[in-house]
Amino acid sequence: MGPVLQQENALPGAVPAPAAPGLRRSMESRHLVMIGMGGVIGSGLFVSSGYTISQAGPLGAVVAYLIGAVVVYLVMACLSELAIIYPVSGAFHIYAARSIGPATGFTTAWLYWLTWVVALGSEFTAAGLLMQRWFPGVPVWIWCLLFASILFLMNAVSSRVFGETEFWFALIKVGAVVGLILLGGAALAGFHPLAGREYPHLFENFATSGGLFPNGFTGVLVTVLAVFFAFSGSELIGVAAGETTDPEKNIPKAMKTTVIRLVVFFIGAISVIAATIPFEQAGLDESPFVTVFSAIGIPYAADIMNFVVITALLSAGNSGLFSCARMLFSLSEEGHAPRAFRKLTARGIPLNALIVSILGGLASLASSVVAPTTVYLVLVSVAGFATVAVWMSIAASHFFHRRAFVKAGGDLGSLSYRAPFFPLVPVLAFACCFLSLVGIAFDPGQVAALYFGVPFVAGCYVFFHIRYGRRRTPAGQAAPERRPAGTTLPRA
């Protein structure tokens, strides 16, 4: 059976049973929304959006983000249906294992775990470097250890503490994005009393010397690959599904709210940035947010955005560490990782899995210094490949699950939520993700993701069949059952 998930209410007239150890359903819809948004709104928007504009042009960048938003909606629609049927922690590999096969579930879990472990190392380093602005005499490694310790403690207390922390982390980032859209939009409309120079009007910067698409539409398509990675993290809602109160109500609500807000925030922010910063000046030398706020005349813009970007990095690390621990816990529940990862604290925290995950992040950090062109290059390449591969796994899992559900005589009307336009949504989501991986082969800067990502996936399948192929379930453990649609998990 799956992990014990505790809820607060008891059946009417029943004698309350003592609380059993297990993961706790303590997060609400607002936590899920901020976890999804917090995982997405990060350095991809605050830092790399300038590079996106320089490659695709102002209008091209907006088009690329629109395409990315559509794909995110497709994947999230598939994820919503699956997360309600399987509201378990570390959900992605459970979906794949039940709907496609245990080897696919195993591979998906390790891909996603490695993605966030590599991200942890990168985010600790980046945050430490940004702290040098205020504390130039403090070595970067000290900040890395401090931030790692803080995030570990936040995750080790309880899932609700994690949810509350991520809520406020994400709120700071969302405030910065909303401020950019409102103030930047007002300045573009002509209200910029603090600006020290002539300010562009509306979308006049979209008409570049090279036309609306200065690098051709090819530049837009190549940028779409980076945009997909910028939207990664929205799927974290699925990871937290097993620790959510009333999943049938809160998961669809959180998914819908997250997608709408991400579209508004990302498209709104990239539109303001592209309309404000001349195409030729966009790049990675400065955060576009700093450039826009400075152009408007906001005092201390650089320091404000330095704080926001550090918050964004810690927020992503917070979500990533949570995700890593739940993936290892879930793998152990399936019998595909050491039993030690299955142990929970009295507060329902998989502490051993959490410890190994934070150590993995620090090992990734060390490899970025000691072996940046060998070990770390392989890790980064596989992590980049994994993001889109996991989305493909979600889409495929939904396709096979829905087909099996109907074939078994299931009533679609009994589903609390069902993705629309089946099978178009999962097929289109899978196809778009697959095409983005094919497109990587034509981008010299990203082709290493295929060189290392494909062999890593093949290696996971081979290892699974050698190590676990002859047994379907862990010793002494019954095979996990599908939860009928419209029902809730047993109460503790």
- Tens-place pLDDT, residues 380-399: 777 778 888 989 999 999 99
Give the CATH number of domain 23-376+387-437; options: 1.20.1740.10, 3.40.190.10, 1.10.730.10, 3.30.1540.10: 1.20.1740.10
Task: Retrieve residue 232's tokens.
Answer: 């990664």
Helix (H) or strand (E) holding 24: strand 23-24
Report DSSP state, residue 6. Answer: E
Geometric angle at alpha carbon 466, from 461 and 468, rounded to 5°: 85
Phi (first) and psi of residue 27, to 5 degrees: -100, 145
pLDDT digits 0-9 by tens, 288-338: 888 888 888 888 888 888 888 888 888 888 878 888 888 888 888 888 888
Task: Retrieve residue 385's tokens.
Answer: 């490949």
Question: What span, in angstroms and rounded, lies between the C-alpha atoms of 262 and 35?
Answer: 12
- Determine the distance from the C-alpha atom of residue 393 to the mean position of all C-alpha atoms in its chain, rounded to a whole number: 15
pLDDT confidence of residue 319: 79
Query: Look-up: residue for tokens 């621990």?
Result: 325
Which of the residue ranges 162-171, 327-336, 393-402, 456-465 would you say has the lowest mean pLDDT? 162-171
Q: How many CB atoms lie within 10 A of CB 409?
A: 6
| b/e code 183-193 from CB counts within 10 Å (16+ = b) | bbbebbeeebe
Closest to 275 in 3D by CA, of 194, 185, 195, 191: 185
**For residue 31, what pLDDT band results from cuts at 50, 70 and 90?**
low
Instruction: Name the more confident of 254 and 471.
Output: 254
Q: 94-98, 344-348, 438-442 — which one is most confidently predicted on average?
A: 94-98
pLDDT confidence of residue 15: 35
pLDDT digits 0-9 by tens, 419-452: 888 899 999 999 998 988 887 787 777 788 888 8
Q: 6-20, 62-76, 117-131 — which one is most confidently predicted on average?
A: 62-76
Ranges of each domain in the chain? 23-376+387-437
Task: Retrieve residue 160's tokens.
Answer: 């609700």
pLDDT confidence of residue 488: 36
Tell me the pLDDT of the chain averaged across its residues. 76
Map residue 483 onto helix, strand or coil: coil
Helix ranges (DSSP H) in 280-374 = 288-296, 301-333, 351-370
Query: In a 10 Å sphere around its CB, with 0-12 CB exposed, 13-18 middle and 19+ buried, how is residue 467 labelled?
Result: exposed
The amino acid that residue 277 corresponds to is: I
pLDDT digits 0-9 by tens, 58-80: 888 888 888 888 888 898 888 88
pLDDT confidence of residue 23: 46
pLDDT confidence of residue 139: 87
pLDDT at 270 over 80: yes
**For residue 276, what pLDDT band results from cuts at 50, 70 and 90?**
confident
**For residue 89, what pLDDT band results from cuts at 50, 70 and 90?**
low
The structure's pTM equals 0.77
Report DSSP state, residue 5. Answer: E
Q: How many CB atoms lie within 10 A of CB 86?
A: 24
pLDDT at 348 over 70: yes
Q: 34-38, 71-75, 195-199, 370-374 — which one is most confidently predicted on average?
A: 71-75
Closest to 158 in 3D by CA, of 403, 290, 347: 347
Question: What span, in angstroms and rounded, lies between the C-alpha atoms of 117 and 366?
Answer: 12
